[in-house]
Amino acid sequence: MSSPFPTLAIVGLGLMGGSLALALRHDRSPQKIIGITRARATLDAALARGAIDVASDTLDAARDAEIIALCAPVRTILAQIPQLADIARDGALLLDMGSTKRAIVQAMNALPERLTAVGGHPMCGKEVAGFDAAAADLYRDQIFVLTRTERTTARAFDAARALAQRIGSRVVELDAARHDEIVAAVSHLPYVVAANLVNTVGAFAQNDAQVWDIAAGGFRDTTRVAASDATMMLDILLTNRENVANLMRAYARRFDVLADLLNAQDEQALRETLTRAAETRRPFKRQSKF
């Protein structure tokens, strides 16, 4: 189909932005793609892979775009939104791909009425960052959350949905507060739990290579997300602090109870707890696709 938005600017050419560019190229979409990032080497790599048509190291280059996809870490996006209030052309659509939504939607609500904006969060990712990790199929068959803002017109929402669907995602609409609460549970808490596991085992292992040598698939899977980019995760945790902190408290309380049951060798209660976890987890797919 022909696109109603012939020019797309992608701000941030890391895993998410780079994959967006590659997915649209893979699909032979008609857009002209303007890639924007400060890193010259990334711009060169994106041009070399044919992911973008135009490379720029300044946000000003977004003035030519009908859609501006914001693909940087959350707090960078928060800084870019007010800058784009002056840069973007009339009627342009800002669509972000940040992992938390309340702060971003708030910033979008403050945009001038001549612009439109939709919050977005593709529920996929890898623990490797950067354009080198980008892949045309990153979004395929993954959920792409869209969140309405005070700058979301019907046309803007349709355009955001069309973009998400064109890269193979399944769109789910959520309001910002509910999105942030859910991802705190299913994404941010797992990350914190995994990072803390790595640091606990790291302190146990010290420099004993044999400990890591023995670590098998269970350790690798449980801790995969702990390798995520620290800057990206820091932005996520700090912009979803209350939800994450609430869930960390709930997690810690439950963990203490489990430790008490083990110390007391309370076999029946332990069995109930472990069985509940197994039965809750089993219906899910075994593993991520990456």
Question: Using CB under 8 A, which residues numbered 178 to 217 contact a second copy?
Answer: 182-183, 185-187, 189-205, 210-217
- Rounded-to-integer distance, Cα 118 and Cα 267, Å: 51
Q: Which of 24, 115, 124, 159 binds a second copy (CB under 8 A)?
A: 124
Contacts for 163-167 with beta carbons within 8 Å, 24 or more apart? 163/67, 163/69, 163/95, 164/120, 164/122, 164/139, 166/23, 166/24, 166/27, 166/29, 167/20, 167/23, 167/24, 167/27, 167/139, 167/140
Q: At what angle do helices 241-263 and 267-281 cross, to 10 degrees?
A: 140
**Piece in contact with a second copy (CB under 8 A), picked from 61-69, 100-108, 156-164, 222-230:** 222-230
**β-strands 170-173, 54-56: how paired?**
unpaired
143 binds a second copy (CB under 8 A): yes
Using the rule CB under 8 A, is 237 a contact of a second copy?
yes
Closest to a second copy by CB, 154 vs 209, is 209
Among 61-69, 111-119, 160-168, 256-264, the segment contacting a second copy (CB under 8 A): 256-264
Contact call for residue 10 and a second copy (CB under 8 A):
no
- The CB-of-202 to a second copy minimum distance in angstroms stands at 5
Helices (H), the chain: 15-26, 40-48, 74-87, 102-109, 154-166, 176-183, 189-205, 209-214, 217-223, 230-238, 241-263, 267-281
CB of 147 within 8 A of CB of 117? no
Selected from 27, 58, 165, 290, the binder of a second copy by CB under 8 A is 290
Least distance from C-beta 177 to a second copy, angstroms? 14
Q: Give least dist CB 277 to a second copy, A.
A: 4
If one asks whether residue 137 binds a second copy (CB under 8 A), the answer comes out as: no
Work out which of 125, 147, 163, 176 binds a second copy, going by CB under 8 A: 125
Determine the interface stretch with a second copy among 1-9, 37-45, 146-154, 273-281 (rule: CB under 8 A).
273-281
Site membership for a second copy, residue 251 (CB under 8 A)? yes
CB of 95 to a second copy, least distance (A): 19
Structure tokens at 170: 């399944």
> What does R_g of the chain's alpha carbons equal in angstroms?
21
Q: Residue from 127, 140, 162, 168 that binds a second copy (CB under 8 A)?
A: 127
- Number of residues in contact with a second copy under rule CB under 8 A: 93
Cα(173)–Cα(191) distance, integer angstroms? 24
